[in-house]
Amino acid sequence: MTPRLDSTVCLVSPSIDPTFCPGTPLKLGIMASGNGSNFEAIAQAIKDEKLNAQIQVLVYNNPEVYAPVRAANWGIPSVLLNHRDYNSREDLDRQIVKTLQQYDVELVVMAGWMRLVSSVLIDAFPNKIINLHPSLLPSFKGSRAVEQALLTGVKITGCTVHLVCLEMDSGQILMQAAVPVLANDTPETLHARIQVQEHKILPQAIALFAESFNS
């Protein structure tokens, strides 16, 4: 008999104990292009002492998004760097680097950042930039990953935290969570369930990085 997939079960790998890691708090710079719910998940994990870090600054690229409102509610500074104001991706990244360095950032977290980054940013923070992507990489790279999963008919998708490299969505995988795809799923319902897991694994992946940073 084929076992039934329990739609409530979501698997996270690697599994870690989400306890407070002693040492110097890791200084984070968060980059976001939208609602900022993952930014808030990180801030809440810090408040709950599940993550030994502090958010130095939020960088956002769209003046109409809600993320800076969340940052203000947490008393965290935010900086708008509208990509439309720059002639090239490299010019934008130079200003991002300058801003992150001004705030003494040690780890850059792309939490819903919807712009490709260049070697300017990657070289300034080598192996210190992580990204959250709504699929089980290496499947469904790039934009509209949730829609891609539904179109191909997979039974399981999820989300991934990975190191950022020049090739899109291809850096070393740090943590993943698997999410079942239901027969009646729409992009909205599936994305909502994936996002629940995003809020869990992003702070945990940062905690893993912080542990190695303080070791």
89 has binding-site annotation: yes
116 has binding-site annotation: yes
121 has binding-site annotation: no
CA pseudo-torsion sign 127, 95, 31, 62: negative
When pLDDT is averaged across residues 27-32 and rounded to a whole number, the result is 98
Say what the pLDDT of residue 23 is. Answer: 78
Residue 109 pLDDT > 90, yes or no? Answer: yes
Say what the pLDDT of residue 20 is. Answer: 54
Nearest to 136 by CA among 123, 127, 125, 145: 145
Residue 1 pLDDT > 50, yes or no? Answer: no
84 has binding-site annotation: no
38 has binding-site annotation: yes
Nearest to 26 by CA among 198, 212, 166: 212
Residue 164 pLDDT > 50, yes or no? Answer: yes
pTM for the complete prediction? Answer: 0.92
Helix or strand holding residue 129 (H, E): strand 129-133
Cα separation of 124 and 177, whole Å? 29
Amino acid symbol at 206: I
Q: Where are the beta strands (DSSP E) in the chain?
A: 11-13, 26-32, 53-60, 78-80, 107-110, 129-133, 156-163, 173-180
Cα separation of 54 and 141, whole Å? 30
If phi > 0 it is left, if psi is from -120 to 50 it is alpha, else beta; for residue 77 that is beta
Q: Which two tokens stand for residue 185?
A: 């799923």
Q: Which two tokens stand for residue 143?
A: 């934009």
- Please tell me which residue in 133, 162, 191, 199 is annotated as part of the active site: 133
83 counts as catalytic: no
Under the banding of pLDDT at 50, 70 and 90, the label for residue 8 is: low
